[in-house]
Amino acid sequence: METCDVINPRARRRNRAKIYGIVAVVVLAVSGCGGEETAEPAKLSQEDLTMLPEATTFAALPDAAKDAGSAATAKVIHPKADLVVYQSVGGKAIAKLPTNQVGSPTWAPVLSEQGPWAEVLLPTRPNQASGWVRADPSEVESAENDYRIDVDTAAFSLELTKSGKALGKWKIGTGKPEFPTPKGRAFLLASIEETVNKYSPIVLPLSVHSESHETFGGGPGTVGIHTWPNDSFVGKANSDGCIRVPKEALDALVKVPLGTIVNIT
Same domain for 174 and 196?
yes
How many folded domains does the chain comprise? Answer: 2
Active site residue 242: yes
- Are residues 243 and 159 both part of a single domain? yes
- Please say whether the beta carbons of 97 and 249 come within 8 A: no
- pLDDT class of 123 with cuts at 50, 70, 90: very high
Residue 135 has pLDDT above 50, yes or no: yes
Q: Is the pLDDT of residue 61 over 50?
A: yes
Does 111 lie in the same domain as 218? no
Q: Are residues 95 and 175 in the same domain?
A: no
For position 45, what pLDDT does the model report? 83
CB atoms within 10 A of CB 61: 19
Whose CA is closest to 133, among 155, 157, 114, 154?
114
Among the residue ranges 1-5, 25-29, 62-66, 207-211, the one predicted with the least confidence is 25-29
Q: One of 78, 209, 213, 242 is an active-site residue; which one?
A: 242
For the chain, the residue count is: 265
Total Cβ atoms within 10 A of residue 40 = 10
State whether 137 and 39 are in the same domain. yes
Looking at the structure, do residues 158 and 241 belong to the same domain, yes or no? yes
pLDDT tens track for 69-106: 999 999 999 999 999 999 999 999 999 999 999 999 99
Comparing 230 with 20, the larger pLDDT belongs to: 230
Q: Is the pLDDT of residue 4 over 70?
A: no
CB atoms within 10 A of CB 150: 16
pLDDT computed for residue 158 by the predictor: 99
Assess whether pLDDT exceeds 80 at residue 231: yes
Contact of 205 with 103, CB cutoff 8 Å: no
- Least confident piece of the model among 25-29, 77-81, 136-140: 25-29
Among 98, 129, 144, the domain-final residue is 144
Q: Does residue 154 sit in the same domain as residue 229?
A: yes
6 part of a folded domain:
no
Average pLDDT, the chain: 88
226 an active-site residue?
yes
Could you say which of 85, 117, 144 is where a domain stops?
144
Task: Specify if 9 maps to a domain.
Answer: no
| Residue 191 is assigned to a structural domain of this protein | yes
Give residue 56's domain range: 33-144
pLDDT over 90, % of the chain:
75
Q: What is the pLDDT of residues 149-185, one digit of tens each?
A: 999 999 999 999 999 999 999 999 999 999 999 999 9
For residue 238, give the CATH number of its domain.
2.40.440.10
Residue 77, classified by CB atoms within 10 Å of its CB into exposed (0-12), middle (13-18) or buried (19+), is buried
Instruction: Please tell me what DSSP assigns to residue 120.
Output: E
Q: How far apart are CA 163 and CA 145, in angstroms?
A: 9
pTM metric for this prediction: 0.87
Claim to verify: residue 249 and residue 154 sit in the same structural domain: yes
What pLDDT was estimated at residue 218? 65
- Check whether residue 253 and residue 231 sit in a common domain: yes
Q: Quick one: what percent of the chain has pLDDT higher than 70?
A: 85
